[in-house]
Each structure stands twice: as C-alpha cells, then as structure tokens.
Amino acid sequence: MVESSNIEPLKVSLTDLNEDMLHAILALVSDGIWDWNANTGFVYRNRGWYEMRGYEPHALENNVLAWERAIHPDDYLRVMMHFDDHLHQRSPHYQAEYRCRKQDGSYIWIEDRGHVIARNANGSVARMIGANRSIEDKKRLLEQLERRNHSLEAMVEERTRELSLLNQQLQAQLDENRTLAESDTLTGIANRYLLEKALPLECERSQRFRQPLSLIAMDIDDFKCINDHYGHALGDAALVHVVESVKRCVREGDLLARWGGDEFIVILPNSTVAAARALAENIRLELSGLPPVGDFQVTMSFGVAQRFEDEQQTGLLARADQALYRSKIIGKNMISG
C-alpha cells in the first residue's frame, strides 16, 4: 500500500491552461465569469455572466465598454477606484459591490471580484480574470430589515411614505435641473459644461484601457456673415439645421456638444484619427444637402486629433482646435489633422 504522505498534490496554474480549455472550464461555472486580455482588449464572458443580466450569451461586444456602460452612474467612480488600485498593485485583489444594468433597464446588485494573473515586462496588466455573483437577495433583505425598523407605528409608516414621495419629487426636479444644466438651450445637444465633465473621464478611460480616443472640432464657415446679413433668427435656425445634420452622422456612444457660438466638439471613444476623419467627411457631405441661407451655402471646417499616451484633455482639445484653424486658413469646408 502506498502511504498517503508520498502522494504529490496536483498543481495547476491558470496561466498553464490554453484559452479554449480555460473558457471551457469557465462555461461550467454558474456565476458570472470574465476574462480580460488587456493587450488585445478582448473580454470573454461565460453564460452565467449574461444570464445574470438577462442577455443571451455573447449578446454584447467583447470589450470593457460593455461592462463600464452597465455600471450605475452613482457607483461608477467607486468601482473604478477599486479597479485601478488593483491594476496599479495598491491592493492584492479587486472587489466591489455595485448596481449593474440589466437588458430590461432595471438594475441588479452584484459583487464583483477579480485578480491580475499576468503582467507585461513593464508591469502593466496583460491578463485579468474575475467573477461576479448576484447579491440582490442580500440587499433586498437589508432593505426589508430597514423598512421594519421604520414601521413600528402606523404614524411612522405614513411619514415614511410622505418622505418617499417628496424624495421622488425632488429627484425628478434634480434630474430636470441636471438636464437643463447640461443641455444647450438652442440645439438641445450637450453644452460646454457637460463636455468639460465628460472629456476628462474619457481621457482617463483611454489611458486606463489603452484604447484610442479622438476629437473632432468644427465650426460653421462665415457664420458671422450669415448673422450680419440675415439676422440672428435665421442664424439660429441655421445652427439648428446644422446640428440635426451632424446628429444623423454621429454614432451611439459619441458625444456631440456645442463648445460655444458656432463651434462644436464631438468626442469619439475607442476611435482612431482615421475614424474621426471618416466621420468628419460624412458630416461634411451631409451638410451639402442643406438649403442655402440667402446667398450663403452652409459649410463647416473640421479639425481632428487623436489622444497621445498620457495626454490630458487640454492638450487634446488644443490640437483639435489648431487643426480646425488650419482648415480655415487653407480654404474652409476642409478637414485637417
């Protein structure tokens, strides 16, 4: 008989498994499992990950944006803080509880855990795997306990309902105020305030996930002449028609904002300068179908720029604006950058 002390335990490292074998194992797990290849940007998710959110398997794009966009806005910064701490080796693992949007638009509470299993020679993340599970029952139980604590007397219950109704009304008012504060009153698109909030976040995302980020700066050619010749009412109408044309060209996930006057900015996440130029050309062609304003055919000039590594939003904006200026110099209705 062989003594048990002579039996060597089987040791398997995740990094020793090939991609197909690892994903086959992950497919058997009921929890939501994800596998992020940071060098290629590809994210594998098992069936449980999709079922937890009400999706068919592989219904979403295999990238980090599909995950990011599902995080509740109120939880986003906290989740990214925990995520970055682990990426930069300030914590031994990644763990966060947050609300995740399901296919039907509702939110589910999940616990998300992850660990970097491989790094590149420079210390940056090469591969990271993780799992998440629903903690909806736990959160619901806590909510029930809280409600019971606040339901000792009928008077307290009634007051709670009144406060809840007031809170909903206040929240609706806050949402309306936020929309008004972040929207351009004439065109209805994002205003400069929202752009200045969104661009730093997109630069951080671009840096974190090593994905391209591009901008298009554009303004209407000879817009002052239109205002001077035909008045601000026709000038405002021309602005609205231009925005309607541009909106038909931008993609879901892009942010179109009025920078000021007749100048606009489009933020293009996960887009190269070539993609930005192609979009600018589509906009330029779309504008050619607009009716003239008196003797003026409405055209725009464009400047495109792609973010450099470690570049902040001010540098990116400045380069897009300089490219726009070059288009103005060389003849207008042009694309530079």
φ, ψ of residue 153 to 5 degrees: the values are -135, 155
User: Cβ(154)–Cβ(58) under 8 Å?
Assistant: no
User: Cβ(43)–Cβ(34) under 8 Å?
Assistant: yes
Count of other CB atoms within 10 angstroms of residue 68 = 16
3-state DSSP helix/strand/coil percent for the chain, to nearest 5?
45, 25, 30
In the block, residue with structure tokens 């903690």? 135
- Selection from 230, 245, 115, 148 nearest residue 187 by Cα: 245
Which is the catalytic residue, given 219, 222, 262, 321?
262
Count of other CB atoms within 10 angstroms of residue 40 = 11
3 state DSSP class of 229: helix
Question: E strands, the chain, where?
Answer: 32-37, 42-45, 94-101, 107-119, 125-134, 213-220, 255-260, 263-269, 300-306, 335-336
In the block, residue with structure tokens 């995950």? 67
φ, ψ of residue 267 to 5 degrees: the values are -90, 130
User: Cβ(64)–Cβ(43) under 8 Å?
Assistant: yes
Rounded to an integer, what distance in angstroms lies between the CA atom of residue 13 and that of residue 189? Answer: 51
Q: Would you tell me the crossing angle of helices 192-209 and 313-330 to the nearest 10 degrees?
A: 110
Structure tokens at 132: 């998440």
Catalytic site includes residue 262:
yes
- Selection from 322, 326, 324, 320 nearest residue 308 by Cα: 320
Cα dist. 27→21, 22, 34, 47, 110 in Å?
10, 9, 10, 6, 19
Return the active site residues: 262
